Structure 1
Amino acid sequence: MKNSLLSLTLLLATPVMAVTGPVTVYKSPTCGCCEGWVEHMREAGFEVNSIDTEHMGAVKVRAGVKQELASCHTAHVGGYVIEGHVPAADVKRLLQQRPEVHGLTIPGMPQSAPGMDIPGSPYEVLSIDRQGETAVFSRYPG
């Protein structure tokens, strides 16, 4: 029993990325807001591997991201796709709860989202299921 409690305590204290692996993000080499999101994720404790590419359309097709759900960068972590400027807190919640979804997205580039950092624009983070349908995962007032 004592070893089980110690194991559970260690698991709960382990950072999310140690359990799920690093975030791999594909982005344009010239996109400053993508760099801002990468920095946001690193500040939240994620290990981030950033890969510059001129072929973001192909990255999104391979990731199963529909055009209407797309943003400027595409990431993968723990078996999920993260499209756009999704806050680190939502990525952590996704990895902790492990819902049966394909991933999370913020379509477009809301100015208040992490990496954009211009207050005033409310936005929603959407979950994407395996059929491409969406549901609100969280809301931000901007």
Structure 2
Amino acid sequence: MRRYTNTFVNGHNLMSGRVLLLMVTSSLMLAACSQPNTNTAAGEPKPATEASIATQTVLAEQLTAEMIPASAHSDTQSTILQNISATVYKDANCGCCKEWVGYAQGHGLNASAQNVEDVSLFKERYSVPQQMRSCHTTVTTDGYVFEGHVPAKYMAQFLENPPSDAIGLAVPSMPVGSPGMEYQDQFMPYKVMQLNKDGSTAIYATIESPQQQI
């Protein structure tokens, strides 16, 4: 019994450590993608400190060992969004936002990217709940909202037959391995959430592998 208990505890601790690493990494990437450029009083970009560089290096090494290996990317090209036009509201300094726009265009989306000073204003305008927010907000010409790194597959599926009570879909935060968030062939399971007109949310799809994004 003692051996079984120790095995369970150790396994639980290992899994908790992996989940924590994934959460920390996703949060760090969100901050890196969405944080505006900060300048010094002299107008020059503020350099990264040695401590911050060292911390990022350690996290990268840990992630390589701890994250879930992915056997496929979500970057296969298609034309499933070829008849859809949308505006993507993003921060000018957000690299992963740019990656997602390129990904969506690769699937046929006619996307017009607009760099804005405060993306939260557009999230409020289009009724994206606080807990569902990510780095960029995409709005189609029909007024449907797609928050964050939503796979093209589910955008097309939603737009083909929009639920009557829904305003769009969201992928909260920035899951590693989602479209535009690829990182060293690693993948973090996540959920695509349905945003409803009354402010409520529901699970639209559960993504447990990279293949489900294609």
Tell me if TM exceeds 0.5. yes
Structure 2 residue 159 is matched with structure 1 residue 92: no
**Alignment partners' CA distance in 2, 1:108 and 1:15:** 25
Under a length normalisation based on structure 2, what TM-score does the superposition of the two structures give? 0.56
Which residue of structure 2 lines up, in the alignment, with residue 130 of structure 1? 197
Task: Name the SS of the counterpart of 1:102 in structure 2.
Answer: strand
Deviation for aligned residue 1:67: 1.2
**Alignment partners' CA distance in 2, 1:85 and 1:15:** 16
Which residue of structure 2 lines up, in the alignment, with residue 4 of structure 1? none
CA contact (8 A) 1:28 1:56 kept: yes
Larger strand proportion of the pair: 1
Deviation for aligned residue 1:112: 1.5
Instruction: Compute the RMSD of aligned alpha carbons.
Output: 1.6
Structure 1 stretches of 5 or more lacking a match? 1-13
- Point out 4+ residue stretches in structure 1 off by more than 6 angstroms: none
Task: Name the SS of the counterpart of 1:91 in structure 2.
Answer: helix
Deviation for aligned residue 1:120: 2.1
Structure 2 residue 179 is matched with structure 1 residue 114: yes
- Would you say how many aligned residue pairs link Structure 1 and Structure 2? 127
Under a length normalisation based on structure 1, what TM-score does the superposition of the two structures give? 0.84
**Alignment partners' CA distance in 2, 1:15 and 1:135:** 24
Amino acid at match of 1:40: Y
Larger helix proportion of the pair: 2
Deviation for aligned residue 1:16: 4.8
Deviation for aligned residue 1:64: 0.6
CA contact (8 A) 1:86 1:105 kept: yes
Equivalent residue for 1:54, pick from 93, 117, 141: 117
Structure 2 stretches of 5 or more lacking a match? 1-78, 210-214
Equivalent residue for 1:104, pick from 166, 169, 190: 169
| Structure index of larger Rg | 2
Question: Identity over the aligned pairs, expressed in percent?
Answer: 36
